[in-house]
Amino acid sequence: MARRVILIAVIGLVLAAALYAFYHRSSGGAPASRTAAGPPQQPPPEVGIIVAQPAEVPYPVEYAGRVAGYRDVEVRPRVGGLLLKREFEEGGRVKQDQVLFRIDPATYQVALSRAEAQLLQAQAALQQAEENFGRIEPLARRGVSTEAQLAEARSQRDQGRAGVQLAQAEVENAKLNLSYTTVTAPVAGITALQSPPEGALIQAQQTLLTTISVIDPAYVNFSVTDEEARAFRNLNEQRERPITEKDLTVEILIGQSATYPDKGRIDTAAQRVDPQTGTIQVRAIFPNADGVLLPGQFVRVRLYGVTVPQAIVVPQQAVSQGPQGPSVYVLGGNNVAQVRPIRLGAELASGWIVSEGLQGGERVIVDGVIRVRPGQPVRPSSVAVERKAEQSPSAPSAQPAGARP
């Protein structure tokens, strides 16, 4: 049995040797040559590139803001008395000249009647003085009456005229006080939630009846840092025509994604830096006819019209992050990929602004970066170049920037 096993093993070895010799002769020694030459060379990877071109890039920025009323108007009574009625809903919107409160007019009606009676009395006295002067004047010309009598008659006539004017002024004052018992809204807006109750004793010029917040137009206040303001001034110095407040458009977002339909403009900016926060207060103004914007409401403010002149923008997928910082692959001679350290500026929707490390006209790899090795030749794809050209960073971005210039 053992001999049979050994015989079968020997036969197997002989057959294997014969098959190897036959394959070696038929292939002309190919296995040996492949072992000596090594594996075949891989073709250079195909990559997509863009040509870095400096351009003026729109740079939308976003801030946190808060809505404020255009102004707050305190409503105080001009006359005192008993508050009879409130004619509006507390916290509701009122129109200009709408009746708000009614104060007891009884005492002011009596004062008006007294003033009118005094006016009649003064007019009667004036009429008598006029008639007396009319009789004495011709007598004095004929010498029948003395000059003293004429002077006294003239004085009584002038006093009568002054008395009538004084009585007329008292009547007008009484009418004004009576009209002040009806308190109207000086402006249109939203009233405060609290007001004196009916039956309260109102003191003239002292009691605060309500406060009306004018919300059309509405202010939106936000702050920019001192560093951002300096960066904006530096950018303006690089332009042939500096950007002014008229060139800026303001948009606000309410809640998570609701965009306010009307655009605003920059109204004013503080000429000082807040010592506590290191920021500069900026105020924008928006139309608010429907009252959507309420005082105290938090919003997101987007500022459009700011641009970065002569900026080079590369897509985000072209940037690699390493221990030494960000870098990109740049094509050198013979299409050899070279690592180029860069310094990133602001982030836009179309990519990153490269502040240092790239020059205009250099070719940057943006597609297939993961297949590239430093010093390795690549095949740039013209199709990728055209596709990237359609996404030029000079096109306006609808997304807020994540960094400041």
Beta carbons of 77 and 183 less than 8 angstroms apart = yes
What pLDDT score was predicted for residue 308?
Answer: 82
> pTM for this structure?
0.60
Calpha distance 246→269 (Å, rounded): 13
Calpha distance 315→329 (Å, rounded): 12
Residues 189 and 296 in one domain: no
What pLDDT score was predicted for residue 110?
Answer: 95
The H-or-E segment that residue 55 falls in is strand 55-58
Q: Any idea which residue has 């351009």 for tokens?
A: 55
What pLDDT score was predicted for residue 404?
Answer: 38
Q: Any idea which residue has 């800026």 for tokens?
A: 248
Q: Any idea which residue has 């050899």 for tokens?
A: 336
Residues 207 and 232 in one domain: no
Partnered with residue 264 across adjacent β-strands are 250
Q: Cα angle at 282 between 260 and 57, to 5 degrees?
A: 70
What pLDDT score was predicted for residue 13?
Answer: 52
Calpha distance 12→346 (Å, rounded): 74
Whether residue 240 is contained in a domain is answered as yes
Following CA atoms 124, 130, 131, 135 in sequence, which dihedral angle do they give, to the nearest 10 degrees?
160
Residues 207 and 95 in one domain: yes
Residues 6+ apart with CB under 8 A from 104: 81, 82, 83, 84, 181
Calpha distance 75→208 (Å, rounded): 6
Mean pLDDT by runs of 10 across the 405 residues of the chain is: 50 52 46 48 83 84 89 93 93 92 95 95 91 85 82 88 94 95 92 91 93 90 88 80 82 85 89 88 91 89 85 87 88 87 84 86 87 88 43 35 37
Residues 249 and 150 in one domain: no
Residues 348 and 268 in one domain: no
Sequence letter at residue 187: V
What pLDDT score was predicted for residue 312?
Answer: 87
The torsion angles phi and psi of 191, rounded to 5 degrees, stand at -85, 160
What pLDDT score was predicted for residue 219?
Answer: 92
What pLDDT score was predicted for residue 22?
Answer: 46
The CATH number covering residue 202 comes to 2.40.50.100
Residues 92 and 188 in one domain: yes
Whether residue 64 is contained in a domain is answered as no
The CATH number covering residue 386 comes to 2.40.420.20
Residues 149 and 207 in one domain: no
Beta carbons of 313 and 57 less than 8 angstroms apart = yes
What pLDDT score was predicted for residue 382?
Answer: 53
Looking only at the bridges linking them, the beta strands covering 320-322 and 363-367 are unpaired
- The total number of structural domains that make up the chain: 4
Q: Any idea which residue has 């005094």 for tokens?
A: 118
What pLDDT score was predicted for residue 38?
Answer: 52
Residues 96 and 188 in one domain: yes
Residues 230 and 294 in one domain: yes
Domain span including residue 245: 214-308
Return the SS3 of 53: coil
Calpha distance 31→24 (Å, rounded): 8
Enter the tokens of residue 204: 């003239």
What pLDDT score was predicted for residue 8?
Answer: 55
